Amino acid sequence: AQKVTQAQTEISVVEKEDVTLDCVYETRDTTYYLFWYKQPPSGELVFLIRRNSFDEQNEISGRYSWNFQKSTSSFNFTITASQVVDSAVYFCALSEANDSDYGANSKLTFGKGITLSVRP
Amino acid sequence: DTAVSQTPKYLVTQMGNDKSIKCEQNLGHDTMYWYKQDSKKFLKIMFSYNNKELIINETVPNRFSPKSPDKAHLNLHINSLELGDSAVYFCASSHKGLAGTYNEQFFGPGTRLTVL
């Protein structure tokens, strides 16, 4: 069974502060995929990043960076110089690879989400 | 063009009623999903369909019946609505993938269901 733990529930920072959102996962598979999604107050789910289990290279995209460490089963997300528009709920998610050519069993298992509030 | 669309966006109804939420995707995908987001924002998969065939059913009550008339549509019908069914329901779709891969899921905008 797969599990995603986001221990932080709510984080509040002042604009321009850096903030790290933690994510710890559990899976028995050797091939799996990790994701971060953003859910702004408008409610839609916005895809941010996907990493597969064989690619531990950290990634940076503008003010966003991700640190994937298989040794600690963590996939943490850092926002540098946070802005008010970053205020949202952030979800970490895990999907195991298809175990057949069916493909439809790639369900996403989500963490409980972290509510980030960035104050001006 | 909207890739994954859901109707309605908001649905308010009385306990005991039967209602449907529609989902359509124009991405040519053959796999579709329903996820439920409860009042605490917890997102959990409910169903997955591949080529109109049920693949995943995550112990959802029988009152929930997904219906897939074709690959582009996966509707969610809910009988005898209960207060606890109040949630946001997200539809998603993806390509069928090969073993050992992952098929990226594209989400619809969500339907907020309120049961009074």
What per-residue confidence (pLDDT) applies to B64?
93
Size of the A and B interface in Cβ pairs below 8 Å: 85
Nearest CA to B87 out of B100, B102, B76 is that of B76
What per-residue confidence (pLDDT) applies to A60?
87
Contact B10, B111 (CB under 8 A): yes
Residue B87 pLDDT greater than 70, yes or no: yes
Pick A112's closest partner by Cβ from B35, B42, B94.
Answer: B42
Q: For residue A47, give the chain B residue with the closest CA.
A: B106
- What residue ranges of chain A have pLDDT lower than 70? 97-106
Contact A72, A57 (CB under 8 A): no
pLDDT in tens, B26-79: 999 888 999 999 999 999 999 888 877 787 778 788 999 999 988 899 999 999
Using an 8 Å CB-CB cutoff, list chain B residues near A108. 35, 43, 45, 105
Asked if A106 is an interface residue toward chain B (Cβ–Cβ < 8 A), one would say: yes
Asked if A50 is an interface residue toward chain B (Cβ–Cβ < 8 A), one would say: yes
Give the minimum alpha-carbon distance from B24 to chain A in angstroms, rounded to a whole number.
16
Give the minimum alpha-carbon distance from A3 to chain B in angstroms, rounded to a whole number.
12
What per-residue confidence (pLDDT) applies to B30?
84
Asked if A84 is an interface residue toward chain B (Cβ–Cβ < 8 A), one would say: no
Q: What is the C-alpha separation between A115 and A117, in angstroms, rounded?
A: 7
Cα angle value B37/A102/B98 (rounded, 5°)? 105
pLDDT in tens, B96-110: 766 666 777 899 999
Specify which residues A32 forms β-bridges with: A96
Strands (E), chain A: 3-5, 10-14, 19-21, 24-26, 32-39, 46-52, 59-61, 64-69, 74-79, 88-96, 109-110, 114-119
Using an 8 Å CB-CB cutoff, list chain A residues near B102. 33, 50, 52, 95, 97-98, 106
Using an 8 Å CB-CB cutoff, list chain B residues near A110. 42-44
Nearest CA to B3 out of B34, B20, B22, B28 is that of B28
